[in-house]
Amino acid sequence: MNTRTSPSTVADWLASGHPMPSTAKHEWDRQGVAMIPTGRAFDTVRLSAALVHAAAGGTSPETVADAFGRMLTEGAVIHDAYGTGVWYYALVPVGTCTRWQAPDATCLLADGTWIGVPRLNRTTRPGPYWILPPQKPQDLCLPQAVTDLIRHGRQRLAQPCATPVPDSNRQPVREFCAQLVSPGVPTMDLATADDALTRTWGYLMTLLPEVEEAASKLPLDDPLRARATIGVAETRRQLDATTASSNLATTIERTQRLARCCLGRLNHLDELRDRTQPTR
């Protein structure tokens, strides 16, 4: 259980991550947010909104804060709500990034990466604010708890109720993926691209079992079954090779690669359903 400490003591700890702690305190006084580098007082795991909202089962700040409190039990999390995309930043112990393995979120390396750290009493929008404020010095999220939250979010995204791949809703998925790979794809920032990557991943996680089940109803030597099986195998290979990235161009490329896989598996599923559904 967290033990409350005086706000000034907690602020001193956060400011200690800055090469000049007085500068961080001045920025808090002047603008409410201080730029502090990672790797000194804390490391940081950046989580996409799509992943967090899936894990929380909602998008409201109250729902997300409650979910963080239940799933992380301790630690501090910043919500950066600037722009069209949003990020969540979980503060974790220094050294976490050197052994971070979860492919669904980026651990920001201490290589000149700075994040906006809100003043302690800044707990509402606009801009960066504490959705889970630290209660004491070294009030950091356990890396395993963050990993478990990521896994839960990914599982929720893969469930049919969270990912509209069933027959009645396949067209919006097709249109979403087609837009991602079209020559006129809209300009995206990194947060938007990361959300698109997460959504597309979730679609595929639901779609692949459907394709496999439909293909299994055809004879073993059927060419369509063979093409669908090869397509599923290639898609799983692409999923295994896809990890989070802090580079915008890389994230867009990986998103488009998965979107093409999604379109291909949707086409296979249409063909398989046409072949396996009984004629009237």
CB 103 within 8 A of CB 38: no
Confidence of residue 54 (pLDDT cuts 50, 70, 90): confident
Q: Which two tokens stand for residue 20?
A: 């000049």
Confidence of residue 84 (pLDDT cuts 50, 70, 90): very low
pLDDT of residue 151: 87
**Across 82-100, average pLDDT:** 82
Q: 90: closest CA among 148, 132, 37, 49?
A: 132
**Across 204-212, average pLDDT:** 82
Q: Which two tokens stand for residue 22?
A: 């007085």
Per-residue pLDDT for 235 more than 70?
yes
Left, alpha or beta for 32 (phi > 0: left; psi -120 to 50: alpha)?
Answer: left
**Across 120-126, average pLDDT:** 88
Confidence of residue 173 (pLDDT cuts 50, 70, 90): confident
**Rounded (5°) CA angle 54-209-100:** 50
CB 23 within 8 A of CB 36: no
Confidence of residue 148 (pLDDT cuts 50, 70, 90): very high
Residue with tokens 């009030």: 139
**Across 25-39, average pLDDT:** 94
Global pTM reads: 0.64
Consecutive H or E run containing 113 = none
How many Cα atoms are found within 13 Å in the side-chain-facing hemisphere of 33? 18
CA distance 189 to 196: 11
CA distance 186 to 184: 6
Rounded to the nearest 5°, which phi and psi values hold at 108? -75, 115
Give me the chain's average pLDDT, please: 84
